[in-house]
Structure 1
Amino acid sequence: MFDRQVADSNGRVAVHHASGLARLQQGLMLGSLALAAGWSLWAWSWSGPAALLGVLVLLGGYAVVLALEFVVVGVVNRSDPTPRAHAGTLLCAWWQEVRVAPRVFSWRQPFRWRCLPDEDVPPAPGRTAVVFVHGFVCNRGFWLPWMHELRQRGVPYTSVNLEPVFGSIDTYGPLIDDAVRRAHALTGQPPMLVCHSMGGLAARAWLDAVPGADQRVSRIVTIGSPHHGTWLAQFSRVDNGRQMRIGGDWLRSLQAREAGTAPNHRYDRFVCWYSNADNIVFPAATATLPGADNRHVPGVSHVAMAFHPQVMRDTLALLPRA
């Protein structure tokens, strides 16, 4: 279940030597480009506009899917206590997601996920390291902007590739445990977990499953995590997708176990970022936890929230100064 450690061409022990998700997204991206090129060559001979339209649909059709998500967000969030996002706000959030999605899912994750590897991070005794836990259909490449920032600051970090991609959230615990262990070895201090989307649930499942795990981390920051599920999960047919259903058996079981172990202070060390324009985790308040430091960042979409300047700045401000 752990990433098998192998030596790379420079003799370093590579913690993350493979990513099934990267291979999948590489195939999808290259296949889409090939299909678009083939269509344009075939269609151009009889209609230039049709050729261009086909390319736009093949490469930009995701923008239509995103638009439908934001329409649903506007409807579903009407009953949520979080202040509603107006149509103009949702339109801006849609444009945020249209711009950020290709960078994450068509470039960083499929082709750049090996950059800034964990094994290159030098020890920093006495500091607090960061453990990055990504979300659904992602890998460690998601966090490259954060990793670049931490390298500039001299802050150590470790990361995970949560695989199998569509497996149970419960199976990710050993991967998080290993990343926490490696982070502690770099500094001698309990690290801070930074989790996006499903990664927040994976962190909670690890905290619940491993005795004493809550003493091994200093703080848990979640960004757009479906702590109480998400409306979209009702349509999922994969294991971890079904586990994120609102009121689902897996979430109710996790909440019951958490309540039994620490009924009053379970979420004291959680910081939960959430948004009224999150197009994946909604209704908006499902990304909050009782007793946690819940921080609303209005008008920001799901993936873009992880790279929002306020979210990054204020999250890194939680790290103790060296």
Structure 2
Amino acid sequence: MLARLQQFTTLGLLALALGWATFFIRNGSPRLAAIGALVIVFGYALFLAAEFVMLWRVNRSDPTPRASVWQHVVAWWGEVMMAPRVFCWRQPFRSQAVPDSLPAGTRRRGILFVHGFVCNRGLWNPHMRRLRELGVPFVSVSLEPVFGSIDAYPPIIDSAVKQLELATGLAPVIVAHSMGGLASRAWLDAFQADTRVHRVITIGTPHHGTYLGQWAMAPNAKQMKLGSDWQKRLASREPATRYGRFTCFYGHCDNIVFPATTATLPGADNRHLAGIAHVHMAHHDEVFKEALRWVGSSSAGAAGTEAGATLAR
């Protein structure tokens, strides 16, 4: 569903930009044609800029070290460049380009990828290509319904975990971006599955909600409001020892999940990624190296030095 929706959005914007440009060129206004087409195609950069202004203001009261103006600018530009690759190419047109990899007879620990809000498995294409080269088993899910409750996602995650368990005989590592971290916690709670996961790595997950959640409309987005009742009920059922299984990446330039420390958990290995925005964070070298470390890959060191070039694919 999401791939089709993003295909429609991408092609619709391109068609609108082309129609605008054609109309004004034919009417002798090439400058207006160019300006209008650029605004249609790159207008999202203005929305991203507004998010960065909000996070700068909200993070003033957060204990995380504040980002400099330059760090905000660099993070904004990184997200401007990353967003079209993810939302206009990988997810709408390439979500099935890298199939799950479960080599027969493997005894290597695998990785389960869980995406976030308004995303699908295409988000992880660069990581999945690299893991295939390294021979690390992986499964990547697409959470449906896209705008449903997070409580609908644990069975999807459980099915994927079972695939990895059957293929490898080992509990997998979960790598989850944004809402995917909450879905993973909901799975742990629903199936009492602590012994069935080796490590949970969350990236920009609104464990305690996000400031932007106050404008949420969809059920899963409403569950990500700051301090939502859903979050409180989930936390009340979780054993104190569970968070010790988590590595939580968070950042002071995360333009979706802020204040910054809402992406951390008490007792977890909380890792601050400085100067990196929300979607870009999922493709950071340190995240990839951390995942390889927990699957016990001997290639972790080498992969870390090569990951930057790989993630650009």
Bin for the TM-score computed over the shorter chain: over 0.9
1:128-207 equivalences under 5 Å are 128-207=109-188
Q: Compute the displacement of 1:59 (Å).
A: 0.5
Q: Would you say the 8 A contact 1:125–1:186 is kept in 2? A: yes
Question: What CA deviation, in whole Å up to 9, does each residue of 1:189-216 have, x standing for no partner?
Answer: 00000000000000000100113x1111
* Partner Cα distance (1:63, 1:41) in 2: 23
| Alignment-derived partner of residue 80 in structure 2 | 98
Task: Determine if the alignment matches structure 1 residue 221 to structure 2 residue 201.
Answer: yes
More helix by share: 2
Q: Compute the displacement of 1:312 (Å).
A: 1.5
* Partner Cα distance (1:200, 1:107) in 2: 24
Q: Would you say the 8 A contact 2:154–2:184 is kept in 1? A: yes
| Alignment-derived partner of residue 24 in structure 1 | 5
| Alignment-derived partner of residue 312 in structure 1 | 288
TM-score (norm 2): 0.93
Q: In the alignment, residue 220 of structure 2 is paired with which amino acid? A: N
1:1-322 equivalences under 5 Å are 20-45=1-26, 46-118=28-100, 120-211=101-192, 213-258=193-238, 262-263=239-240, 265-321=241-297
| Alignment-derived partner of residue 16 in structure 1 | none
Question: Counterpart of 2:294 in 1: which secondary structure?
Answer: coil
Say if 1:67 and 1:128 are closer, same or farther in 2 by CA, change over 3 A.
Answer: same
Question: Counterpart of 2:12 in 1: which secondary structure?
Answer: helix
Which 5+ residue runs of structure 2 have no aligned equivalent? 299-313
Q: Would you say the 8 A contact 1:124–1:155 is kept in 2? A: no
Question: What CA deviation, in whole Å up to 9, does each residue of 1:5-60 have, x standing for no partner?
Answer: xxxxxxxxxxxxxxx00000000011111111111110112211100011111100
| Alignment-derived partner of residue 301 in structure 2 | none
* Partner Cα distance (1:124, 1:48) in 2: 62
Q: Would you say the 8 A contact 1:233–1:241 is kept in 2? A: yes
Question: What CA deviation, in whole Å up to 9, does each residue of 1:44-98 have, x standing for no partner?
Answer: 1221110001111110000000001001111000000000001111000000000
Q: Would you say the 8 A contact 2:204–2:257 is kept in 1? A: yes
Which 5+ residue runs of structure 1 have no aligned equivalent? 1-19
RMSD over aligned Cα atoms:
1.0
TM-score (norm 1): 0.90
Q: In the alignment, residue 220 of structure 1 is paired with which amino acid? A: V
* Partner Cα distance (1:288, 1:184) in 2: 28
Question: Counterpart of 2:201 in 1: which secondary structure?
Answer: strand
Q: Would you say the 8 A contact 2:173–2:291 is kept in 1? A: no
Q: Compute the displacement of 1:124 (Å).
A: 4.9
Q: In the alignment, residue 267 of structure 1 is paired with which amino acid? A: Y
* Partner Cα distance (1:194, 1:162) in 2: 14
Question: Counterpart of 2:112 in 1: which secondary structure?
Answer: strand
Q: Compute the displacement of 1:310 (Å).
A: 2.0
Q: Compute the displacement of 1:125 (Å).
A: 2.9
| Alignment-derived partner of residue 303 in structure 2 | none
Q: Would you say the 8 A contact 2:79–2:280 is kept in 1? A: yes
Is the deviation greater in 30-39 or in 195-204?
Answer: 30-39
Q: Would you say the 8 A contact 1:272–1:288 is kept in 2? A: yes
Question: Counterpart of 1:295 in 2: which secondary structure?
Answer: strand
How many positions carry a matched residue from both structures? 297
Question: Counterpart of 1:108 in 2: which secondary structure?
Answer: helix
Say if 1:76 and 1:121 are closer, same or farther in 2 by CA, change over 3 A.
Answer: same
Q: Compute the displacement of 1:315 (Å).
A: 2.7
Q: Compute the displacement of 1:121 (Å).
A: 3.5
Q: In the alignment, residue 83 of structure 1 is paired with which amino acid? A: P
Question: Counterpart of 1:220 in 2: which secondary structure?
Answer: strand
Over the matched positions of the two proteins, sequence identity in percent amounts to 56
Q: Would you say the 8 A contact 2:204–2:281 is kept in 1? A: yes
